[in-house]
Structure 1
Amino acid sequence: MRRVLFAVLGLAALLIAGCSSAVPGVPVPAASPEDDRQLVRDYFDELNAAAEEGPSTQRDFLRRSQHPDYADGMCELGGLTLTIDPAMSTLRVDPDWVPPDAGRDAEHPRGLVYVLGVSVSIRDDDGALLGEQIGSQRVVVLEGRTYGFTPCPTG
């Protein structure tokens, strides 16, 4: 019996050794949903802080935080600023979403797409409130950073 046990253990060790391979790169722990929740919260905090500084600062923030796969899809907001109040309790994964203006053959953005309810206040460059809307917004967590898609004004 002992001899059979050693034979099985030896065979298992050979199989494991023969099937293992090194994976290049540095291991990175997977983000938890709570980590992503904080990243998303931080994104909106930074967006709103940029709005307080004015249209130019917010435009710079939106340019830096535009999803890299859709960097050429930015809309100009002119002198408008957006303050966005996210309803974090509505945050959920949206695995099939693609940007609507990305074209017929658009692919799902790299990263983990989230959707959440938001309340948006739109102000002109003098700070006057032009309107408020409630809707949904998508953000993407990619490699530990949150990206968005610059909203386009509709007329």
Structure 2
Amino acid sequence: MADGRVIALAALALAASALAGCTVAGTPQPSPDPGLVSRYFTDLDAAAAQGVRSEQQFLTSTQVPAFADRVCDLNGVTITATPTLATLRPDPGWTVPGSDKRPSGSVYVVAVSLTIRQGNSVVGTQIGSQRVVVDGGRAYGFAPCPAQ
């Protein structure tokens, strides 16, 4: 019974440190601003509702600055994203695949449900993770690259 209590207390301490925005080792991580991240996705979807050109402009203007050269053409589709903000968490060790550059600011990961449309037709859906970078009080993302 005592072993069970120790395990329960250890689990509670681990959960408390996770909720406080710390890694298990105790390195402090900034807490994400769910409102700022939520607005990023709301603005993304609003741009998509206005069409491919508007969404392309939004993605170009909110691309993580260190990766501004990696904005893809949307190839005639719009992409909306519904984040599950309860999954939003710091991801300080993440690096962009295929790059040795790190984004400045704080990197967060959140589960999203993506819907890809061509005109009024849904041509694809996907559930996955998306990184958002908060730097200087602004949220940035990584423009998706639809299959050509």
Shorter-chain TM-score tier: 0.7 to 0.9
Which one has the bigger helix percentage? 1
2:111 corresponds in structure 1 to 117
Q: Aligned residues, how many? A: 119
Of 131, 141, 154, the match for 2:124: 131
Measured in 1, the distance between the counterparts of 2:92 and 2:57 equals: 28
**Shift, 1:33, TM fit:** 2.9
TM-score, length of structure 2 as denominator length: 0.76
TM-score, length of structure 1 as denominator length: 0.73
The equivalences for 1:60-71 within 5 A come to 60-71=57-68
Q: Which portions of structure 1, spanning 4 or more consecutive aligned residues, are displaced by more than 2 angstroms?
A: none
1:82 corresponds in structure 2 to 79
2:34 corresponds in structure 1 to 37
> Quick check: which has more Rg, 1 or 2?
1
What's the C-alpha RMSD, in Å, of the aligned pairs? 1.3
Unpaired runs of 5+ in structure 2? 1-29
1:8 corresponds in structure 2 to none
1:52 pairs with 2:49: yes
Unpaired runs of 5+ in structure 1? 1-31
Q: After superposition, what is the alpha-carbon deviation per residue over 1:127-151, rounded to whole angstroms, capped at 9, x for unaligned?
A: 2100100000001000000000001
Native 8 Å contact 1:118 1:136 kept in 2: yes
The amino acid that maps onto 2:87 is T
